[in-house]
Chains A and B, each alone.
Chain A
Amino acid sequence: MANTGTEHTVKAFDTDINELRGMVAEIGGRSEQAIAKAMRALEKHDLELAAEVVAEDKLIDELEKRIDELTFQTIALRAPMADDLRELIATFKISGVVERIGDYAKNIAKRVPVIAGTHKLGPASLLPSMSNIASELVRDSLEAFARRDADLALEVSERDQIVDDFYTSIFRSVITYMIENPKDIGEAAHLLFIAKNLERIGDHATNVAEMVYFAARGEPMPERDRGENPTDLLEEPSNGR
């Protein structure tokens, strides 16, 4: 039984829930912005912008703390049940996951000074498109939370495959690039980490989507098929396969 939006007899409960939803929207917006800024800083080699992303991550951390405190307080005071309980647990977990998304953006920003503009490295050309999709997933997963929309959440989880495919593709080309250009291995390794960060952001958006789905439907999101795993590429095929 999903939330139908009717009000609680105790109005203060609704006030708390609405405040929490507002804060989740804010932390989501800030994280999404952090990804966009970090990627712009990377493309333009803008050290100032990169430093800004690092500094602003503190706000995201602070928001996470406030969300956790209010969730704790609401659970303790209101003893929520059914979809209220599911939504509050989801809120609590989502705030942690979105904070991690902020950390990945910060990590990308921290690598900006050691990479001299992505245009120099061929394999990096795919990064902006990858980042756009990862950001979209973050935005849509939080939109799904705001709308309590399980279908949109499911769609986000399915679209994460695109980010994974990007990562696999970038992984391959960076490895090839490293073999061909051993002197750039350092920078290329940083690029690989950035791609990995974006891939993790996609996974985290999927985590958010899974919680939205659970909060809305009361059952876990169905498993999706995983695509090619980049680590398979490094392994020798075993006998019998």
Chain B
Amino acid sequence: MTELIDNASSSESPIMTETAPPAISAGDGPLKMTTRNVDVFYGEKQAINGVSIDVTMDNVTAFIGPSGCGKSTFLRCLNRMNDTIPIAKVSGEITLEGEDIYAPSMDVVQLRARVGMVFQKPNPFPKSIYDNIAYGPRIHGLASTKDELDNIVETSLQRAGLWGEVSDRLQDSGTALSGGQQQRLCIARAIAVDPEVILMDEPCSALDPIATAKIEELIHELRGKYAIVIVTHNMQQAARVSQRTAFFHLGTLVEYGVTSDIFTNPTQEKTRDYITGRYG
């Protein structure tokens, strides 16, 4: 929480007030989430300025940008994680399947099941591997029998590419796994409640290259089953795993487009300076 606020207030330049580029149309796949003119304030400080982006079902969407640019803040708006920060105020429109997620009638717990999240540092519960996965389905009432629950646990671990490594030790503690396995356990935990969207906030930044490659492979496999939005500092990773990339700078969406275009021929000078290593 503090980190977010610090990041947002550490930028020395004023927030840009230029009009945000229009959201790109979905084009190739059903629209899952839309955002229009989203502003986020932390107290007096504006962290996000008029961002409009469409998230589609068939594409992995990557958010890139320097520290403090607002990409994580914006990601957290998509499942109302910013609600937990008292001084954060979000305005504009964010919809999931056409439904306003900030409407008073929206059940936030339900929303976070539909829009799951995986964090920078793997954060398994201090419980068994089995219980880590079973927790969500239990509280959301997704399984009525032990067999059904077993089935959800197995399917989720399989989808997260972890089943083969843990199937014979489901009662071991989740925290005893390696970092990469823990992160896949967290992805399995998000999958277990059958979400529509998975948000990943720098999911590989604490992992070694092999564990990172496994997560990237997993993202490829999950693409199409869930709408995926990933925040990453690693530009090569954004280029590898995503089909759409959004570049944020000082709270503004500078450029949003097809990933291969952004990385080979960006249209904005700021994007180009950032991705070619000329920023700052």
Partner-B contacts on A (CB < 8 A): 1, 4, 6-10, 13, 78-86, 218-219
**Contact present for B269 and A4 (CB under 8 Å):** yes
Residues from chain A with a CB closer than 8 A to the CB of B271 are: 1, 82
Q: Which 10 A-B pairs have CB atoms at the shortest separation, nearest pair first? A: A218-B265, A1-B272, A81-B275, A84-B276, A8-B277, A1-B266, A6-B278, A82-B272, A82-B276, A81-B263
Which residue on A lies nearest to B279, using beta carbons?
Answer: A9
**Contact present for B236 and A83 (CB under 8 Å):** no
Provide the bound-state CA to CA distance between A8 and B272, in Å: 11
Provide the bound-state CA to CA distance between A219 and B264, in Å: 10
**Contact present for A1 and B269 (CB under 8 Å):** yes
Partner-A contacts on B (CB < 8 A): 235-236, 239, 263-269, 271-273, 275-280
Provide the bound-state CA to CA distance between A79 and B277, in Å: 10
Provide the bound-state CA to CA distance between A218 and B263, in Å: 11
Provide the bound-state CA to CA distance between A219 and B272, in Å: 16
A218-B264 in contact given A1-B269, A1-B271 (Cβ < 8 Å): yes
Provide the bound-state CA to CA distance between A78 and B264, in Å: 15
Can you report 17 A-B residue pairs in the complex whose CB atoms are below 8 A from each other? A1-B265, A1-B267, A1-B268, A1-B272, A8-B278, A13-B277, A80-B276, A81-B264, A81-B276, A82-B263, A82-B266, A82-B271, A82-B272, A82-B276, A84-B276, A85-B263, A219-B265
**Contact present for B263 and A9 (CB under 8 Å):** no
Provide the bound-state CA to CA distance between A32 and B269, in Å: 36
Provide the bound-state CA to CA distance between A121 and B235, in Å: 62
Which residue on A lies nearest to B266, using beta carbons?
Answer: A1
Which of A6, A13, A80, A219 has a CB less than 8 Å from the CB of B273? Answer: A6
Interface centre among B235, B263, B266, B277 (most CB of A within 10 A): B277
Provide the bound-state CA to CA distance between A156 and B55, in Å: 44
Provide the bound-state CA to CA distance between A81 and B236, in Å: 9
